[in-house]
Structure formats: structure tokens, C-alpha cells
């Protein structure tokens, strides 16, 4: 059973983050199943490692707090629904202990990503990318920013410092 737990810790969260980032980059969408898999994976892992009810409630509280904030951002049209759900599902895994780090890194990466896309849009689309739907979508001046990339990068930077990974690294 220990091997199964370690495999889940080492693969599920990072794989979902990588998938979300790539999906957002190429399609500007993050499927609901990504967030659902993260929530179900957290629940399964919490059960398998014997997380206390108090710990589960704390993690759920952090996710609920983030969901409340990102819902407002989504309602104002500032972020996409997939980004909002991904942020909340990610924080479910990270909890309050790593919330500040995650938000700071997501903000910094999001700002850098936005500046890079602004620069990309300011120049002519390279011939190599002409006819590629994902590149043309990213290049459109009225296009959005695939913020899921920043959310996933921040999550992957913070995740090794969580209690999930601390038990493996010891």
C-alpha cells in the first residue's frame, strides 16, 4: 500500500498540473475533469494516509476561500472558469500552509506570462506558426492569457515543499 501512496503522491498532482498547463496553452481551456481528478485524488490520498478530519477540513477551507475569490474574478471576466476551478483544486492539495507561496508564485508567473504574450503579439506572427490554430489564437490582440500555465508552474514549484512530498523525501 505504501508504494501505491507514493506513486499517487509523485505522479497524480504533477501530471494534472502539466496536463492543465499544456491544455490551456494549446486550447485556452482546462477541462473540468482535471479539477475533478485533483479533488478525487486528494480525497483518496487523504483517506490512504490517514489525514485527520481537522486537516481535511483545513485544506477544504483553503480551497473554499480561493474558490470564493476566483469566482468573483471569473464573474468579472478577469479569469476563465477553468483557471478558477484549477486554482481551487490546487489549493485543496496545498492547504493554508502553502497558500501564500502559491499565490505569490502564481502572480509572478502570471505577470511574466502576460508580458511575454504582449511581446509575442507586438511582433508579426513567425511564418513557422502561421496556420497553427493555437499560435494564431495566442497571437490575436483580443485573445486571453492562458493563465493555467502560471497556476500550474506555481503549483509545481510549491508542491515539493508540502507534507505530501516531505514524507517521501525523508
Tens digit of each residue's pLDDT, the chain (170 residues): 788 899 999 999 999 999 999 999 999 999 999 999 999 999 999 999 999 999 999 999 999 999 999 999 999 999 999 999 999 999 999 999 999 999 999 999 999 999 999 999 999 999 999 999 999 999 999 999 999 999 999 999 999 999 988 867 65
In angstroms, the CA 22 to CA 67 distance is: 22
Query: Given this model, what pLDDT does residue 2 score?
Result: 87
Query: Given this model, what pLDDT does residue 170 score?
Result: 58
The reported pTM is 0.94
Residue with cell 499565490: 103
Look at the chain and report how many structural domains it folds into: 1
In angstroms, the CA 151 to CA 145 distance is: 12
The residue range of the domain holding 35 is 2-169
> What backbone phi and psi angles, to 5 degrees, belong to 79?
-140, 160
Q: Give which of 163, 138, 164, 160 is closest to 149, Cα–Cα.
A: 138
Amino acid at each position: 500500500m505504501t508504494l501505491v501512496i507514493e506513486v499517487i503522491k509523485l505522479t497524480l498532482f504533477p501530471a494534472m498540473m502539466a496536463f492543465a498547463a499544456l491544455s490551456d496553452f494549446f486550447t485556452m481551456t482546462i477541462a473540468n475533469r482535471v479539477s475533478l481528478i485533483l479533488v478525487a485524488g486528494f480525497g483518496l490520498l487523504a483517506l490512504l494516509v490517514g489525514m485527520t478530519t481537522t486537516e481535511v477540513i483545513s485544506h477544504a477551507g483553503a480551497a473554499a476561500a480561493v474558490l470564493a475569490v476566483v469566482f468573483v474574478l471569473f464573474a468579472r471576466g478577469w479569469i476563465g472558469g477553468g483557471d478558477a476551478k484549477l486554482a481551487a483544486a490546487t489549493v485543496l492539495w496545498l492547504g493554508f500552509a502553502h497558500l501564500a507561496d502559491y499565490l505569490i508564485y502564481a502572480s509572478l508567473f502570471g505577470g511574466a506570462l502576460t508580458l511575454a504574450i504582449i511581446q509575442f503579439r507586438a511582433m508579426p506572427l513567425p511564418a513557422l506558426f502561421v496556420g497553427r490554430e493555437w499560435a494564431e489564437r495566442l497571437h490575436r490582440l483580443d485573445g486571453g492569457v492562458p493563465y493555467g500555465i502560471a497556476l500550474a508552474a506555481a503549483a509545481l514549484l510549491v508542491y515539493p515543499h508540502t507534507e505530501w512530498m516531505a514524507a517521501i523525501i525523508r
